[in-house]
Amino acid sequence: MRRKVSKLPPSLWRQTSQLVFLVFFLFLFVKTDYNGSDELTWAVNILFRIDPLLAVTAMAAGRTVIALMLPAVITLALTVLFGRFFCGWICPLGTLIDGSRRLVERGSAGRDRGGRRFKYYLLFFLLAASLFGLPLAGYLDPFSILVRGLTFAVHPALDHAATSFFTLTYQHGPAWLNIVTEPVYAVLKESVLPFAAKVYGLSVVSLLVLIAVLGLGFFGRRFFCRALCPLGASLALFSRHSLFRLTGGSPECAGCRQCRTVCRMAAIDDERNIAAAECILCLDCLPSCPKSLIHYGWGRGATRGQAVDLSRRAAIASLAAGMLSPLVLPSRLLARHADPQLIRPPGACAEEEFLGRCVRCGECMKVCIGNALHSTWLEAGLEGIFSPRLISRIGYCEFNCTLCGQVCPTGAIRRLNRQEKHATVIGRAYIDRNRCLPFADGVPCIVCEEHCPTPDKAIKFREAEVVNGRGETVRLLQPYIVGELCIGCGICENKCPLSGEAAVIVTSTGQSRESGELTIYG
């Protein structure tokens, strides 16, 4: 007698794919870090480059074709062919939303179909706003939300927890325990934990946004994907024309609504028609159908349940709001005078183009060796939140490092070779004589000059005779800045031994990205 072989549940294939891509995403995330070399061996930004939402909005804002983002066309082509598989089988944020549903969901919410139109109106608003000069897509893109939350909060927290634990065992544990814990910590430091402990601006905000996205499952399964995700909306517009899709709605269904109950995207209507635009191919409906009437295959001309039912008036209002929103930008104080403390990474485009291309992913901040790059708050306006800025008092731009340009997925930060990096000016330093020790207190100090990395030191000295704090006349060296040699790396401000505000301050004055001029040192 032949033994009947049981079939694997269709959803198991989807879960396996989700797990594989989540591990792949986390692998690339960990690899987005300094590894002892100035060259990254992995294309760590590849997932951002296949994101159609970021590609379209960045190109619209820059009014140019960004070659780095062209792989996003592959995602759209596969969506037209197979349907909205990206959301259900690949997206790591979608995987985490599915994984966290037992913690936040309040029951099977497959019945509620309300709210799913909003993501389309949001998409229209973002596209129009980007085209007319207000790039906001990076705030709601799922990849950007996830990477920011992990980079600014989760990964540093894990590093701090691991370091604290292993330090505790080393200092207070028995000798035999250290024989085990020390190799384990070495392996973790080599493979998972960041190269160096770092701090980040807006870390709490980024974590709360990520938690909020996961917590929205309280209002329904995949609520963020169903109602808010603009990337999902862009894929939905293409998947409604997909050649392969799930089909149902057979007259044999009778009064059964099992498929509609389990659908996490509320993509099945009362007549059991499946909207291809909303279906993420989770395949939960296949085993739920008692008569196996749901099939995935050629669309066979099915049209019922496929239309994206949008209000024309609301769609026009969304486009109009997106076009009109940028009109308020010239009325701000920033339109007259930019914040002098707003220093962008080396290789950054001119400010308007930079903000248009930057997708707020945080990759450049994660890979920065000196922990110099941090999230901008309102220093660059509403459209600049989460974009990178250099804060020299916290970290400095390593003279020989070009990693930020290597990880930028859109070219907002141009990839520089080492010679170009050495010649790129991101700001200029100046000395506050009211705080500098040789000027203010008559105390010798040469720390800033010692650390200046330029071949011909940008910080030099003049010998002077001053009266110190004890009333004694002394001769000492007082520093001064040679503007033509300073590149604004910020190491002088970072290493200044004063507590609080440094006596050497770097501003964005003279930056190469605005003048378009580079001076190559021989």
Least confident range of 293-297, 314-318, 351-355, 374-378: 293-297
**pTM of this prediction?**
0.89
Residue in this structure with the two tokens 């939960």, named with its chain if needed: 284
Per the prediction, the chain carries an average pLDDT of 87
pLDDT at 112: 58
What is the rounded distance in angstroms from the CA atom of residue 494 to the CA atom of residue 394? 6
481 half-sphere exposure, CB direction, 13 A CA radius: 22
More confident residue, 308 or 117: 117
Residue 56: both structure tokens together:
């379209």
Helices then strands, counting H and E runs in the chain, come out as 25, 8
pLDDT of 252 over the 90 cut: no
In the prediction, which pLDDT does 393 show? 94
Distance CA 30, CA 28 (A): 5
| Residue 157, CA distances (Å) to 77, 152, 289, 365, 386 in order | 39, 9, 44, 16, 19
pLDDT digits (tens, 9 = 90+) for 381-439: 888 999 999 999 999 999 999 999 999 999 999 999 999 999 999 999 999 999 999 99
Q: What is the rounded average pLDDT of the residues 262-289?
A: 84
With cut-offs at 50, 70 and 90, classify the pLDDT of residue 492: very high
Higher per-residue confidence, 469 vs 34: 34
**Quick one: tokens of 368?**
């920065």
pLDDT band at 114 (very low <50, low <70, confident <90, very high): low
pLDDT at 515: 57
Contact, 245 vs 274, CB < 8 A? yes
Q: Tell whether the model's pLDDT for residue 109 goes beyond 70.
A: no
Structure tokens at 111: 């019945």
Span 342-365, mean pLDDT? 93
For the cut 80, the answer to whether the pLDDT of residue 509 exceeds it is yes
What is the average per-residue pLDDT within 124-150?
93
Q: Answer whether residue 517 shows pLDDT above 70.
A: no
Which pair of tokens denotes residue 99? 């994984």
> What per-residue confidence (pLDDT) applies to 106?
65
Residue 52: pLDDT over 70: yes
pLDDT confidence tier of residue 249, bands split at 50, 70 and 90: low
Res 307: pLDDT? 58
Among the residue ranges 145-149, 191-195, 464-468, 503-507, the one predicted with the least confidence is 464-468
Q: What's the rounded mean pLDDT across residues 143-165?
A: 94
From the centroid of its chain, how far is CA 348? 16
Give the whole-angstrom CA distance, residue 396 versus residue 486: 14
For 186-307, strand residue ranges (E) read 244-247, 295-298
Question: 279-314, pLDDT tens digit by residue?
Answer: 999 888 888 887 777 888 886 555 444 556 788 899
Query: Which residue in 442, 325, 332, 433 sits closest to 378, CA to CA?
Result: 332
What stretch of H or E contains 505? strand 504-507
What is the pLDDT averaged over residues 138-163?
A: 94
**What whole-number distance in Å separates Cα of residue 373 and Cα of residue 43?**
21
Whole-angstrom Cα distance, residue 227 to residue 113?
Answer: 9
Confidence of residue 211 (pLDDT cuts 50, 70, 90): very high
Phi-psi region of 134 (alpha: psi -120 to 50; beta: other; left: phi over 0): beta
User: How many CB atoms are closer than 10 A to CB 440?
Assistant: 15
- 74-98 per-residue burial string, b: 16 or more CB within 10 A, e: under 16: ebbebbbebbbbbbbbbbbbbbbbb
